[in-house]
Amino acid sequence: MDTEYKIVCLAGGVGGAKLAEGLARIVPPEQLSIIVNTGDDFQHAGLYISPDLDTVMYTLGGVANTETGWGRAGETWNMLETLSTVNGPAWFKLGDKDLATHLTRTYIMSVGGTLSQVTRHFRAAFKFKPALIPMSDDPVPTNIETKKGDILPFQEWFVRKSWKPVVKNVLLPEDGRLSPTAAQALQNADIVLIAPSNPFVSIDPILNMYPARAMVEDLPRAVVAVSPIIGGEAVKGPLGKMMADWGMEVSATAVANHYGDLIDGFVYDSSDEMPFTADMPAHATNTLMQSSENRVSVAQEVLEFAISLIKR
């Protein structure tokens, strides 16, 4: 796809990784930046873990475990099995191959490297070209306030409690700031694409990084969000449950309304009704990204739709 536009994709885990992979196949790498949520990051057994960055990185590197949506393909679990025998913290499953990533990230950060430097270091190792950028270089953890009144670190809620506790609020840090490279990418963006990730725990954390929201509102000539809801359901993860728990309609329309006037256009799945949102340009297609072919076709359609908005 020959486009001179600079494209920034805001991405969380699995949905973000799939759109990023499709974009990486059609956009020249120097014109594509992927800004990834780091609100799920945490210290686990002394290791610095960045789940969404790793999911996008492994996907762009062609080594992602597509069954689980996290970790690496062809994984072995010797360390984890042994960890259990010595009563180590085995609730968060670390595969032997995946462990190499966490050890390397933790090492580089222990000698003063930033998360952005770590991510650039991995770009060479995993042989992908687009800029993969953490939303912030500082710890900006997302916490979950449950209806029962507990405040859980994200992975405690997501993994340890399998996102069963009903969410009252998603608590985002007040003082988070974009990483310098993320700010620069948004500064130069012509098009911002919001991936079909969870708006509340993957995309809002990115927009919460000062001054991301203002930059997205003011700068690019087209901001397009892709619906993470298909056929009235979330493809994966806690989104459907969260929306239902909040009494929201689990629909593409509800997601479009959540983004509101931040976006100029919305791409939704043909199986859903046209999102009735005040004169929001919308484009329907098959947004399910199973194979790498349709990751490319979805990326192509999203990009063409965004470009059409610029030319309007």
Question: Which residues of this protein are in contact with ligand FO1, per CB under 6 A?
Answer: 13, 40, 49, 51-52, 54-55, 70-71, 92-94, 98, 155, 158-159
CB of 114 to ligand FO1, least distance (A): 19
Closest separation in Å from C-beta 274 to ligand FO1: 29
Residue 54 Cβ, how far from ligand FO1 at the closest point, in Å?
4
Rounded CA-CA distance 247/241 in Å is 10
Nearer to ligand FO1, 93 or 221 (CB): 93
Cα–Cα distance between 243 and 167 in angstroms, integer? 10
Please, is 75 exposed, middle or buried when counting C-beta atoms within 10 Å of its C-beta (0-12, 13-18, 19+)? Answer: middle
Task: Pick the closer one to ligand FO1 by CB: 105 or 283.
Answer: 105
DSSP state, 158? I
Q: What is the CA radius of gyration of the chain?
A: 19
How many CB atoms are located within 10 Å of the residue 156 CB?
17
What phi and psi values does residue 236 have, to the nearest 5 degrees?
-160, 150
Distance (Å, whole) CA 287 – CA 224: 14
C-beta of 68: minimal distance to ligand FO1 in Å? 7
Which pair of tokens denotes residue 167?
């969410």
Q: Which is nearer to ligand FO1, 48 or 70 (CB)?
A: 70
Residue 23 vs 49, nearer CB to ligand FO1: 49
Q: How many residues does the chain have?
A: 312
Alpha helices in 111-196 (DSSP H): 115-125, 154-155, 180-187
Q: Which residue lies nearer to ligand FO1 by CB, 98 or 272?
A: 98
Q: What is the closest distance, in whole angstroms, from the C-beta atom of residue 98 to ligand FO1 in the complex? A: 6
> Using omega within 30 degrees of 0 as the cis cutoff, is the peptide bond preceding 211 cis?
yes
- The nearer residue to ligand FO1, 158 or 266, going by C-beta atoms, is 158
* Smallest distance from ligand FO1 to CB 209, Å: 17
Residue 8: CB atoms within 10 A of its CB come to 28
Closest CA relative to residue 194, chosen from 36, 58, 31: 36
CB of 58 to ligand FO1, least distance (A): 8
**Closer residue to ligand FO1 in complex, CB, 133/306:** 133
